[in-house]
Amino acid sequence: MNGRLCRLGGAALVGGSVLLGAVEVVLRLTGGADGDDPTNPVNIAAHGVGMLAGLLLIVGLPTLVAALGTRAPALSVAGFVLLTASILVYEIAIGLLDTVVLPYLTANHLNPSQPPAAMFPFFMGGGFAQIIGNLLLGIAILRTGLFSRISGILLIAAGVILLITLAPLPEWVDTISALAMLSGLGLVGAKLAGIPAGWPATRRASPAASLSA
C-alpha cells in the first residue's frame, strides 16, 4: 500500500471517529441513544450521520491492519474482522432501522413496543465483537509500537468499559466506552494521515514506512 492510500485511510479514520463521536454525544443528550422519540428530526439526522461515520471507519480500518499486519498479523486481522462486524451491526444495520424503519413505523402508529426477539443475538454478537476487537487491536498497537501507546490503551479501555456495561450501569457508561474507542482510532488515523506533526511520537518505524516497505 502506498503512502497516499495510507494517508487517505488515516483521514477516513479521523473523519469517521470525529463524526461518530459527535453523534454519540448528541444522541445521549437527546435521548436518541435509548430509542426515545424515533421521529425527532435531530435523532434521525444523527443516526444518518452515524451510518456515514461507520462507513468511513470501515474504509479506514484496513489501513491500520496493513500497518500492523507485518508485526502482529493474527491480532490485527482478528481485531479488524470483529470491530468491522460490530460497526456493521450497530452503525449500519441498526442505524438504518433508526433512520428509516422506526420513524416510518412510528409515523404510521405501528411502532413496536420493543425490538423483535430475533434481533437480540445480533445485539449481543455485535457487542462482544466490539469488546474483543478493541482489546485485540489495542494489544497489537502496544506490541508493535507503530502508534502511540495512548491509542492502544484507549482501545483496550474501551473494550474493558464495554464489558463492564454487561452489569446494570448508567447508560452514559456506554458513551464513555464509545468515545474511548473513537479517540484511539482517531489518534491512529491522525498518525497514518501524518497530521498534525505534534502527535505523540512512536518508538519504532512509522506506519507509512511499514506500509511502503
Please determine, for residue 111, whether its predicted confidence score (pLDDT) is greater than 70.
no
The conformation of residue 144, written as its DSSP 8-state character, comes to H
Specify the pLDDT at position 197.
46
Whether residue 200 is preceded by a cis peptide bond, meaning omega within 30 degrees of 0, is no
From residue 213, how far is each of 39, 81, 142 by CA, in Å? 51, 24, 21
Please determine, for residue 200, whether its predicted confidence score (pLDDT) is greater than 50.
no
Nearest CA among 78, 82, 91 for reference residue 19? 91
C-beta of residue 45 within 8 angstroms of C-beta of residue 95: no
Main-chain phi, psi angles of 13, to 5 degrees: -65, -45
The conformation of residue 201, written as its DSSP 8-state character, comes to P
Per-residue pLDDT tens for 41-87?
888 999 999 999 999 999 999 999 999 988 999 999 999 999 999 99
Distance, CA of 143 to CA of 147 (rounded, Å)? 10
Main-chain phi, psi angles of 26, to 5 degrees: -60, -45
Residue 105 grid coordinates: 413505523
Specify the pLDDT at position 75.
94
pTM: 0.84
Give the containing element (helix H, strand E) for 67.
helix 41-68
Residue 43 grid coordinates: 435523532
Kindly state the greatest CA–CA separation across the chain.
59
Per-residue pLDDT tens for 159-176?
999 999 888 888 889 999
- Those residues with Cβ within 8 angstroms of residue 147's Cβ, 6 or more apart along the chain or in another chain: 67, 141, 187, 188, 191, 202, 207
Range of 40-44, 121-125, 175-179, 209-213 with top mean pLDDT: 175-179
C-beta of residue 160 within 8 angstroms of C-beta of residue 114: no
Burial call 68-89: b when 16+ CB within 10 Å, e when fewer: bbebbeebbebbbebbbbbbbb
Nearest CA among 147, 161, 136, 140 for reference residue 202? 147
Average pLDDT over the chain reads 86
Please determine, for residue 199, whether its predicted confidence score (pLDDT) is greater than 50.
no
